Amino acid sequence: MSDFLAGAGVLIAAGASAAAILLPAGRPRSAAMVVAIVLFPILILGDQWHTHQIVDLRHDTGRIIFLLAAGAVVVAALAYIFRRLPILLPLAIIAALPFRIPLHAGGDTANLLVPLYLVIAGGVFAALAGGAGGEAENGASLPRPQASPPVTGPASRAATWLPRVLAAFVVLYALQTLYSEDFSKGLQNVCFFMVPFTVAYALIEDVKWDTRLLKLVLIVVAVEALVFVGIGTVEYLTRSSFWNDAVIRSNEFHTYFRVNSVFWDPNIYGRYLALVLVVVTTALLWAKDRRNFWLLAGTIFVLWIGLAQTFSQSSFIALLAGLAVLAAIRWSWRWTLAAVLVGLVGAVLVVVLVGGKGVNFSRINIDTSGRANLVQGGIDLFSERPLWGYGSGSFQKAYANHRENKDVPVSVSHTEPVTVAAEQGLIGLLFYAALIAVAIWTMTAGLKGRRAGRAAVLAAFVALLVHTMAYAGFFEDPITWVLLAVGAALASTPFVATEVRDPT
């Protein structure tokens, strides 16, 4: 694929995915979704056509035919199921979030979100088959904008701005791949993350979110997390990891043993458990039935054991941030703020005292596994090109080309704002900050009556945001897009004070 075609394809795919969250429901919107999900694998194949992984796959015709046929059957089956039972679409997307499938080719392994991509494709073709305002075969409404009366007020105004800012950021990211020092990496980020996750945002936001669906989501994430903890506990007790050679080697040299369960990275596993803990804790704080209270309490206990086995400092901090948000909503934001400030002061004092006279940068860098150096390197890159940066996806190559310490293996700065600043400059930082501001505005506007659903989404989003300050992965994590979509959907849903119809 020529550079011109690759660049044009990235822009078209990004534009189509942006249209998916901006256009009203109907065939043009469904067509935009189809263009987006069809283009992204084509662009990936075109970009990687001459790599040994794709060359190895190209020479195995039988394997290609099998994979394509299996994928088509799965997508068709999912589209049929989603047309008949639309409520399964958001549940399937959320259930598929943690799973990456290792694909072996050319002696290398790529861990891809294949289950999630298949679910998204099934949802898109279900919407396309239903057309504008169509109905499922059993008469149930297809996933589409809620039929509830229009909502006015700060929450609805915020909810209308969120998809606009999100779409603008996706298009900007695609534009900034055109001058990136690592165009291939930028293209992969657009195609593997930005485009399919934006389509998933559109599908989830369209669903009518009510108490029943929120309870089902709680059950799905809690059960999955408990299963993951069970797998992680087996790893911990047997002192053996199922995959990721880097984690296996690291455990051999440490006095403690970190688990990753079905996740590739213990920190991503810890992030997932922290977010589920926030959601389950929300349900506990708003529980009215004693049996449910103790069931949720037991779930929290087990999940906490699983989180402790990850030894993920960033996940512990993220969990504390989410719990602080819940405390502020449920009880008092003033007392919560005071407690947070006291905790921060205590943390600073510990760092200063451990470091001796002043802050010992070398010690901090060791304690953070070299992340302090990465952050400093990202800041240096930003200072060299403060306005437009080195281009989307360029951090690794720019760090190697423009830093003195070129032998340090690096992919991102492990601090999302620093990565955005280095790659996209002030322009990208402006859109990144605007997206976060509008997202929090959407999730907090009109948050009255201490509604559990919206409280859970807000607390989980804050926890995720805090985690990305120490481990990045904001836009590359599909959970981010799901939280944004559910937050926007709940903000647009009218509050009904009955137990049956309360949407939050």
Alpha-carbon dihedral angle through residues 166, 171, 173, 176, given to the nearest 10 degrees: -150
- Count CB-CB contacts under 10 A for residue 501: 12
Strand partners, 112: 101
Q: What is the pLDDT of residue 144?
A: 44
Q: What is the pLDDT of residue 406?
A: 53
Ordered by start, the domain boundaries in the chain are 3-138, 210-367
| Beta pairing, strands 101-105 & 108-112 | antiparallel
Identify which of 180, 177, 424, 466 has the alpha carbon closest to the alpha carbon of residue 319. Answer: 466
Across the chain, which has 504 residues, the per-10-residue mean pLDDT values are: 86 94 88 92 86 75 85 93 93 94 66 92 88 42 43 67 94 95 92 94 89 94 96 88 75 79 88 96 91 94 94 91 92 83 77 57 51 76 91 88 61 78 94 95 77 92 92 88 93 57 46
Q: What is the pLDDT of residue 64?
A: 82
| Inter-residue contact 56 to 182 (CB < 8 Å) | no
Q: What is the pLDDT of residue 2?
A: 78
Q: What is the pLDDT of residue 492?
A: 80
- Prediction pTM value: 0.87
Cα Rg for the chain, rounded, in angstroms? 23
Half-sphere exposure of 290 (CA within 13 A, CB side): 0
| Inter-residue contact 204 to 93 (CB < 8 Å) | yes
Identify which of 30, 29, 67, 73 has the alpha carbon closest to the alpha carbon of residue 45. Answer: 67
Q: What's the length of the chain?
A: 504
Chain centroid offset of residue 329 CA: 24
